[in-house]
Copies of this chain bind each other. A is one copy, B any other.
Amino acid sequence: MTNKELTKLVTRLEAGEPLAAEFYARTGTARILGITGPPGVGKSSLIDRLIGEFRRQGRTVSVIAIDPTSPISGGALLGDRLRMQRHSEDDGVFIRSLATRHHQGGLTDATPQIIHALDAAGFNIVIVETVGTGQDEVEVAEVADTVAVILMPELGDEIQRAKSGLMEIADILVINKVDLMNAGTTGRDTIPSAEGKQWERPTIHASAKTGDGLASFCGAIEAHHGYLVRSGELARRRERAARAEVIRLLQSRMTASILRVLEIPRAQNILTDVAQRKLDPYDAVEQLSREIFGSQNRSS
């Protein structure tokens, strides 16, 4: 499949079309790398550097960047995403920004399907970039084999607090923009042994600007993959990803059922009664559940 064909396929998946089952059967070989962190820490610039490193190793790389820009006001291909355009002539690189539309959280509903498409298309590495403020931390961990959390030396109060949520999912921690730090505070990287059965999360000090630390970052990604395979954790993470994807699809289908039922006049009256405080929201849910599930399925 050419990158042009892949672009068309991804567009169809993004619009909600399911990936053909024969594609899914060909997935499972790509390494899925999640890159997340607060706004402004330089995730896109680091990914740009990573692409270069992986390409030098002869690996093909695709990137899905989940962009919080509203499609109404902006569109998804803006700002620092443009910096990656220098790879646009390279068939071994595929980059796609996804707008989050009205989905709440870090991923879009189509993200797992798009990962499968890139995997089936033969990319060695699939990078999923999300903005992690500590709220959507779970989501990227649901699809990735390896999660790298990117931070920078100086962050505000609120971001420092959000960090704790990000730390829980970090397999690798990268402190970017170390070029901004005082000399003497850099170079304290910790790299785990390539043989260990346990994973000790490494901290990498890097600079997307100078390229410092990029080799260590790639080494840590490689070491983590080795650990995933040796420990059996890879199979466990793939089961978790399958479970999360199926739950997400079931929820989408159920939400579609809810919205369909809310269009009927009886449901509209129920909502008006709730707004006017004539009916309690829980009573409304009880009545509407019967419409959606049928009476035998309502919880009580």
Task: Write the residues of chain A forming the contact surface with B, with a CB cutoff of 8 angstroms.
Answer: 18, 21, 24-25, 27-28, 38-40, 67-70, 72-74, 78-80, 100, 102, 104-106, 112-113, 131, 133-139, 156-162, 164-165, 167-168, 235, 238-239, 241-243, 245-247, 249-251, 253-259, 262, 270-272, 274-275, 277, 280-285, 288-289, 292-294, 296-297, 299
Contact = CB atoms under 8 A, between A and B. Distances in A.
A164 to B, nearest CB: 4
Given A104-B138, A292-B250, A239 B275 contact: yes
A39 B139 contact: no
B134 A299 contact: no
A70 B164 contact: yes
A289 B293 CA distance: 11
Contact of A285 (B72, B78, B249): B249
Given A246-B270, A246-B281, 12 more contacts: A39-B133, A39-B162, A68-B133, A68-B135, A68-B162, A69-B164, A100-B135, A104-B106, A104-B136, A135-B135, A235-B275, A245-B274
Interface SS of chain A: helix, strand, loop or mixed? helix
A271 B250 contact: no
Contacts of A288: 246, 250
